[in-house]
Chain A
Amino acid sequence: MNLWSLKNKSVLIVDDYDKMRMLIREMLMPLGPAKVVMSRNGKDAIEQLEKNKFDIVLCDYKLGSGRDGQQVLEEARHRNLLSYAAIFFIITTENTSKMVMGAIDYLPDDYISKPFTQSQIQTRLEKASRKKAQLVEIVQAMSARNFSKALSICDQKFQEKTYGQTELQKIKGELLCKLGRLDEAEKFYIDLLAERNIPWVRLALGKVYFQKGNYTEAEVQFESLVNENPAYVHALDWLADTLEKLGQSERSQGMLERAIDLSPKSPVRQRKLAATAFKNGAYDMAEEAYESAIKEGRNSCFGDLADFTGLTKALICQDKTEEALEKIDNINKDYKQNSDAQFFSALSKSILYRELNDLNACEDNLEVVFKALNKRVGGLDVETALDITQTCLTLDNQALTTKIVKQLVNDYSENEQVLDQVRSLYEKAGKLDEANEIIQGTREEIIKINNEGVRMVQDGKLEQSINFFIQAAKGMPNNATINFNAAYSMVKQMKKTGEIGKYFSLAQRFMDQGHKIDPANQKYFQLLKLTEDINNEAA
């Protein structure tokens, strides 16, 4: 009878209870899996996922003190440790509704609750792989980044099958958004809601409004979701983001507090609450949330040492400077392996001594910051760059100030919000004119660089323009125009030569980066269309 089996499949079982692990393994053995690996906690599970490729993961939700099953799933998906074809089950002991409310991206393929029998788990696994198989063409088109094609397959499947369409509906809506066809996505979701009030549809509709910049309407959708289901964490997250955009920082903080009460283990959410609370002057709450972000981030891919800087600032605002110094000393102690530890401890100290008006100690630490900065890979986040700028300004160190600000302005010359923050720092130092000069000068330089590259494209010197823009993007990775132009040069070249292998994924990386910086920029969608055309011609 058992045509379906686990032949050639490798399975990972994660449970903190050894008897349970053995029991599950015994259940699977008759199905003939190629390999079964067992893990007792989230940390070990992630290590296994880093080392091996698994087709099936069965992970208990409760895993003792470290990560829980949901966090293992999130990290695995976030870090691409799982192929799309892989099946991830979360094993639960109680009702799943609290967990099911997760982000669509991070939903497991199924939940299975204890106790279960061998035939139950077999049926579930079989069902999940059948489901995956049905969507395989769509997924292939999606991973080849041909969203238009994926959408047309999706529409075709709607015609073939008029029931059980939830999965297709989710994908279709997502594809419309990915293609920038937001009006169509909006209508699609509104039509679905007219038939039945389905929470995921309303969440998706709210996201469309958010993406459109229609925050008032987004608020209406998210608000109604959290009223109907106060435990819907992701609706709370989105509502908090929306309120932030609407300038209602205090309400935003309230929503984040509620989300944290429900789901405290996310360092990202704790960090967001900390930053919002700090902005609102709720320094005690900011302190607490940064502490939690540090604690939860310790074993997570979402950890960030910049939380220590935030914590330092929250402590300074409460005059707890001695405590701040103690916390900073912990960075070097607790993060010996982390190459960023020195950088962040020096940065935090420079801020602390700046506020204590001990300018000598401040300067010593700033020196360490700049030394570490030269060795650091990857760019600086805005907050960190602004912190350094402020310290440089306080110390009145012209050379270092210019160095850091030029880099920041260079990278964010199109981002008025960041530029305003730079201006306000300079204004406090009585040097607003200087800031405007730097910003103006940098902008002109960038325009010149950009024009030079564009001229190369126009002259048909495509290889040259590609190299030129790649170099430029290295210097200013957060400049959307430069990134889009790098991608555009490559697209042009692919069209000219008909050879796509060399530049296809690289072009995508640049356009994705541009899209991330400036999601509303239509250039991305034009480029998307062009790459899809290239893809179709090649096929």
Chain B
Amino acid sequence: MKQHKKTVDSSPIRSVDFSTVLASCIHDMKNSLSILLNKIDEIEAETVDAKNKSELEQLQYQGKRINNHLIQLLVLYRINQSQYFANINETGIRDFLDDALEPYISMFKHRNISVSIQCDDDLYWYIDSDLIQGVLANIMNNLYIYAKTEMVVIARIENQRFILQIKDDGQGYPDEMFLTPTCSTQKRFSFKSSSTGLGLYFSEIAAEMHQNNGEKGYITTSNDGINGGGCFSIVLP
């Protein structure tokens, strides 16, 4: 039976559970961010001046980046503490993609990048929608910078696996960022060179949290995108 321990604090400052501090801090930050982003939306809607408008878009973009990073940090922290468990449910992928991409569509429109979704209405798969949404948000934030004129999101089922691909017409991934299912983890992510390290790291962890019958999900990157642009794929069992 578990004994009740009453530990006596030797220091005057009570130690608090860091994850609680982190979680409540992020809760607070996201509240502020919500207000901030919605205010920017409002101002942007009323703004006519093209230069002002484009500056406001920059603010929106940065806000979304912050938001996405906050989520990723929290999730990675929880996974590291063995506190995060995938919540995998049958999900209508079309609805999910519409929902997840919606905040980015107008952003891309302003930059004259077209976004198209190729996904059957009756495509359903078992995913942790929070994790996959994080993966998508990360890609979107990058493509906002790297895509030139178009990107396409493709979802399909192949050999009893769900494949989600995002292809763009940018310059493609640099060599050191190519990921195949078999390359070793150690050399995969360097956080020194660029911020995308965190995004890909998060994406890979998110993919691996999806398991079925002993099989794990994975991600790959290549330059099979539009006209040699980047192609990011996530494959889930």
Contacts and interface: CB of A to CB of B under 8 A. Distances in A.
Contact of A19 (B1, B30, B35, B67): B35
B227 interface: no
Interface stretch (B78-86, B165-173, B195-203): B78-86
Contact of A120 (B30, B92, B103, B122): B103
B23 to A, nearest CB: 6
Interface string A222-248: 000000111110000000000000000
Contacts, number: 99
27 contacts: A20-B34, A23-B34, A62-B27, A93-B26, A95-B84, A95-B130, A96-B87, A97-B128, A114-B31, A114-B33, A115-B34, A115-B37, A117-B41, A117-B102, A123-B98, A123-B102, A127-B95, A163-B124, A164-B92, A164-B124, A166-B90, A196-B212, A196-B213, A197-B213, A232-B85, A250-B1, A285-B2
Interface string A189-201: 0000000111100
Given A93-B31, A114-B31, A197-B213, A124 B86 contact: no
A120 B41 CA distance: 14
A116 B30 CA distance: 11
B164 interface: no
Contacts of B90: 164-166, 198
Contact of A93 (B30, B102, B130): B30
B126 A93 contact: no
A447 B2 CA distance: 48
B90 to A, nearest CB: 4
Interface of A: 17, 19-20, 23, 27, 62, 93-97, 100-101, 113-117, 119-120, 123-124, 127, 163-166, 196-199, 228-232, 250, 253-254, 257, 280, 282, 284-285, 288
Interface residues of B, number: 42
Interface in B96-128: 98-99, 102-103, 122-124, 126, 128
A163 B122 contact: yes
A20 B27 CA distance: 13
B4 A285 contact: yes
Nearest to A258: B2
B177 interface: no
Contacts of A163: 122-124
B226 interface: no
B68 to A, nearest CB: 11
Given A197-B213, A280-B1, A95 B75 contact: yes
B87 to A, nearest CB: 4
A254 B2 contact: yes
B131 to A, nearest CB: 8
Contact of A97 (B27, B30, B86, B102): B86
A278 to B, nearest CB: 13
B2 A257 contact: yes
B47 interface: no
A198 B130 contact: no
Contacts of B92: 164
